[in-house]
Amino acid sequence: MMKKAAFSLLAGTMLITHAAPAAVASEETDGDLILYQNVPGVETDLEEGLDLRALAVHEDGHFTERSDGLEWDSTNENVAVVDETGVVEMTGQRGRTFISVTDGNHTDRIAVDYKPNPDAREGGGKPPVEAQLVPQSGERYDIIDGAVDGMTLEEKVGQMMMPDFRHYDGQEVTEMLPEIEQLVEDYHLGGVILFAENVVETEQTYELVADYQEAAEKFGMLVTIDQEGGIVTRLQTGTDLPGNMALGATRDLDLAEAAGDVIGAELSSLGINTNLAPVVDVNNNPDNPVIGVRSFGEDPQLVADMGVSYIDGLQQNGIAATAKHFPGHGDTAVDSHLGLPEVPHDLDRLLDVELYPFQQAMDAGLDAVMTAHVTFPEIDGDKAISEKDGTEISIPATLSRTVLTDLMRGELGYDGVVMTDAMNMNAITDHFGSVDAAIRAIDAGADIILMPVGLEEVVEGVLDAVDEGDISEAEIDESVERILTLKVERGIFKQEALQDPAEGKQRALETIGQDAHLAVEQSIADHSVTMLKNEDVLPLAPEADERIAVIGTTYLSSLVSAVEGHHDKVDAINLSGQSSLTDEQRSTIEAADHVVIGSTTANVAQRSADNAVMQMYAEIMEMKDDVAAVAIRNPYDIMAYPDVDAYLAQYGFRGASFRATADVLFGETNPTGTLPVTIPNPDGGVLYEYGSGISFD
């Protein structure tokens, strides 16, 4: 299935940012030259113009993007003209023209009509006249089948591998190394995942991505990253969005799309073409240690709506979106990085809750799905013997054919790319050998093995499994077809001519962290801050000589700086590493005219009332009558100190969130966020319901 092409089209002046450039040797070929827009299923959104792209189809079936040595022509320049790079500009006169391209040996063409729009409505936003593209048809355009037919088994398996190269010989990888370049070539790698260690600054990241594409053998690479926003943000330069739960608190679908658009634009400018986001897990378990604020919330409809809007924002920038973690990691109390979680629900419940956002995203044209290293014993009763201790365990979804093939492909009808979660996580490595796990995942229906443990061993093991009949080569072919289809959909091709890196870097520098993106970041934060309690404590209105004690542990300095933006007499009290208040701290707190606590928790133990930090907070609340608390990360922190006088949730620790919270603390803005989750009380009841939130009005 092809979806919307990976670019937008603007008249004549639009510069299209494709995957980072790569060079291949020029060669004479008896293959073909075709227009990308003629490939079956590629949909092009014409606005006022069109940027045509030419693909060289080589004798063995692989295809590359060609831009040099081409001649372009329009048969009717009264309707449209085309420049030497394939950019078409409509003149405004009605009629049809054929735009053709030739390399001297092969020629292709496509029809462009400019005619009345039958859907035009007065005042309805539809133009009375519009351009329409009429692709050619024929066997020559079925390039994916031809490519797969011409690949060796080794090349096919290579397309399914997506390793990381965070470190090499103990050093962080910030530039292409000859050893890594050789691995890309030797194993015909189809993709790579980048981490914070790799993406230190803008120009360096652009160069690294371009070098990966240049190292690719025949096809463009899926260059991926976990740029979710919030607590999972890999780029070390750029816009620091508040994250998904902050978006959920805004209830604003336009902001969700804007978040995806900002992330998509910044990734695209760097040549990164695939984002392992968004998280569409339904976080209905307050004890979840790994999803939490990475989720939009606990309501399946909210998660679905926000997720689809976020995906739209990503994909309109040509970025492949990846929904995770299928079939749902929200209702777990174990981190799959550390152990093997279980979700105990049956299929009916999963379809109504956990699977609902995935289904909606799939129906909306989702590019890829990432699996969960989580067991679902009610839908897959198969067992395995753990290599860790010899006990019998349930099969995690990543390795389950029942989940990936029968449920995802059969029940939900998904035909896009399926990628495993990282195969170096303890949920897998504790119980399965790295080769065995990869073979099980592929046999289950996974198309891409993310971060295989021991690339050489895994590749050799998979090849042996195909030779021995343990993995069907026909299913390998289907996986490669899906991967190449995704690459074609998103315009990810090996390029025969190098683009000017200086121009690319300059575009990236102009895009990353631009003012418009920072405005989106601040707007999300401003609309997300949620006030759950206020017993006449807020807004703060200190006299010029009054002192504010700001108390906390992690991110205390950020909270202090934000408060100092409104009042300059602030005493910072850091409780990190302490089990009790010092006499000096007590004196400072007692002398303060106002007290603000900033709590940061990531798990159940940290927010327990028995936790040493929480006990110190409780002591402070007994000392002072008017204490305002800010939950910096998890909104659930109030469970440990329900008697606090005022309480704000900001859902993240990026600068914009602290600024937004400080504005609320001092009454410069009115809080409008509403809880995207339910906060329980320690007895199992409800402390604050989903949708709670008050304002100063």
- Cite the active site residues: 337, 421
Residue with tokens 């504790």: 430
Q: What's the token pair of residue 497?
A: 């001519």
Check if the beta carbon of residue 107 is closer than 8 Å to that of residue 101.
yes
Task: Give all strands of the β-sheet with 548-552 in edge-to-edge order.
Answer: 530-534, 646-649, 627-631, 594-599, 548-552, 570-574
**H or E stretch at 595:** strand 594-599
Q: Residue 625: how many CB atoms within 10 A of its CB?
A: 10
Provide CB contacts within 8 A for 396, sequence distance 6+: 336, 340, 372, 373, 374, 375, 427, 428
What Cα–Cα distance (Å) separates residue 235 from each residue in 143, 260, 261, 270? 35, 15, 16, 10
Question: Which residues have CB under 8 Å from 198's CB, separation 6+?
Answer: 165, 166, 172, 173, 174, 205, 208
Beta strands in 296-427 (DSSP E): 320-326, 368-371, 383-385, 392-394, 417-419
H or E stretch at 300? helix 300-315
What's the angle, vertex CA 573, arms to CA 569 and CA 579, rounded to 5? Answer: 165
256 beta partners: none
The pair of three-digit structure tokens given for residue 693, joined into one six-digit string:
């939130």
Q: Residue 646 carries which side chain, given as an amino acid letter? A: A
- Report CA-CA distances (Å) from 491 to 5, 20, 193, 273: 7, 11, 18, 9
Distances (CA, A) of 423 to 104, 320, 353, 378, 387: 48, 21, 26, 24, 15
Whether the Cβ atoms of residue 500 and residue 661 lie closer than 8 Å to each other? no
Phi–psi pair at 362, nearest 5 degrees:
-60, -45
CA angle at 575 for the pair 572 and 577, rounded to the nearest 5°: 145
At 113, which helix (H) or strand (E)? Answer: strand 107-116
Mapped onto helix, strand or coil, the DSSP state of residue 40 is coil
DSSP 232: B
Amino acid at 620: I
Strands 54-57, 49-51: pairing kind: unpaired
224: part of which helix (H) or strand (E)? strand 222-225
Is residue 32 helix, strand or coil? strand
Q: Which amino acid is at 117?
A: N
DSSP string across 347-360:
HHHHHHTTTHHHHH
337 prior amide bond cis, ω within 30: no
**Tokens 């890829």, located at residue:** 368
CA angle in degrees (0–180, nearest 5) for 285-287-292 = 70
CB-CB contact of 451 with 163 (8 Å): yes
Measured distance CA(47)–CA(8) in Å, rounded: 8
Beta bridge partners of 63: 57
Residue appearing with tokens 């299209």: 16
Contacts with 88 (C-beta within 8 Å, 6 or more apart), sequence order: 12, 49, 50, 51, 52, 74, 80, 81, 82, 99, 112
